[in-house]
Structures are given as C-alpha cells and as structure tokens.
Amino acid sequence: MDWFPLPKPLCWRPMIRAERAAYIDRRLAELYPAPPVPLVHHDPFTLLVAVLLSAQCTDVRVNLVTPPLWALADTPEKMRRVPVAEIQRLIRPCGLSPQKAKAIAGLSGLLVDQHGGAVPRTFEELEALPGVGHKTASVVMAQAFGVPAFPVDTHIHRLAQRWGLSAGRNVVQTERDLKKLFPREHWNQLHLRIIFYGREHCTARGCDGRGCGICRAVFPHRRRAVKTKK
C-alpha cells in the first residue's frame, strides 16, 4: 500500500495515541466510506444466526452455508421446527456444528416463547440466548438496530496492538480502550472498516506492524515486529 503522508506538525515527533486514533479514523473513512456488513442476511434473525456461525469460521464460508439454511428456515418459528440433526448437517462446513446447531435451535425456541418471535434489542436479552456472547450481541446491536457498539474480533484485536491503540491482552480490554479513543457515533462503521483493512492490508502474516500503509504512517521508525498478545 502507498505511503500516506502525515500532517506536517506531526512529522517531527512520535504521534501520541489520540493522534494515531484520529489519523486512523480519517484514513479508514477515506478507504472504506460505506463498508458493507460482510455476512449476508436480510433481517435481525438471519444476522444473529450468521454471526453465531462465524465463530472460528470465515465470513466467506458462512455466506456459502446460510442460503440453504435460510431456504429451509429463515424465521425463529420455522427454525424451531427443524431437527437439530438437520441444522447440523447444513452448517457442518462452518465447524463446531454440534454446538452451533443446538444453539440455533435453542435460541429460536426462546425467541418464539419469550420474545414473540423477534430478536431482542438489548445486550442483556441477547446475551441470555444460547450461543450468543458479547461480540455476537454487539454485532447484532450495531448492524441490525444501529445501536453504537464496538465488536472486537481477531482482526481488530491485532490491529489495535499494531497501531498502539491498546495493550489489552484480551478482546474485552481492547474493546474498552477503543471505545475511549473513538467518537461513539463512529463505532459501528469503524469496526467494519478495521476488519476490512485487517483482511486486505494489515493481515496476520502479511504485515508485522511495519509493512502496511497505516503501520508505516503511525510508526514510521518502528524497527521491531509487533507480536499480538492473545
């Protein structure tokens, strides 16, 4: 990726964390002005199931698996009537299919019995559903309901460390740090922008904190590779 020139006043000294965050925010908005949601879906329920399936699986694979699943059942009412074994058969390529199939069947039943067939709009209610953790709930709140959230996946965790935005050893701390750095109204699109940049440019193996355009811009004199803290 081409070098991105820094504002002149910042060229003669290292950037502080807030300056790096502001630069990254602007640059990613230029690169990805309208980032799409990577998981194909058509309503909150299909997004919820797709995000659940994406755990330890690529979005590309999930998007191949979900069309046959939606053809069979694309509402909680329909999904709760599908045998767990049939759900598992369809989602097997995503990995962890026994656990995911049970979770999909279980949450579908709870949505019908406790929420009138609708996906709830609070973190607490979402995280009470089978197989739904904080990251999954955050994606649904952000992308289905427009509530500011900052879901942190492996790409965001890795880049936050490479860019000196967080020293968190886990995604919980990284999320907390990023929320403090960036405007709340930017969170929903920014987390997608970071994901796309991490997949296309600052990849796990293709950049070590010194190779991509943003890494070179915010740390132009970095000499050592950055090892991600899990």
Could you tell me if 189 and 146 are in contact, meaning their C-beta atoms sit under 8 angstroms apart? no
Fold designation for 44-143: Endonuclease III; domain 1 (1.10.340)
Tokens standing for residue 118: 């609708």
Class of domain 8-35+150-218: mainly alpha
Alpha carbons 151 and 51: distance in angstroms, whole number = 11
Give me the residue spans of the domains in the chain: 8-35+150-218, 44-143
Q: Report pLDDT for 84.
A: 98
Residue scoring higher pLDDT (116 or 230) = 116
- Is residue 11 predicted with pLDDT exceeding 60? no
- pLDDT of residue 1 exceeding 70, the answer is no
Tell me what percent of the residues of the chain surpass a pLDDT of 90. 84
Mean pLDDT to the nearest integer, 71-100: 97
Q: Where are the beta strands (DSSP E) in 36-192?
A: none
Taking only the tens place, the pLDDT of each residue in 139-152 is: 999 999 999 999 99
Is 177's pLDDT higher than 80? yes
DSSP-assigned letter for residue 88: H
**What is the per-residue pLDDT for 12?**
55
Q: Which residues are catalytic?
A: 135, 153
Record the pTM: 0.89
List all residues 6 or more positions away from 196 whose beta carbon is below 8 Å from its beta carbon: 31, 32, 35, 38
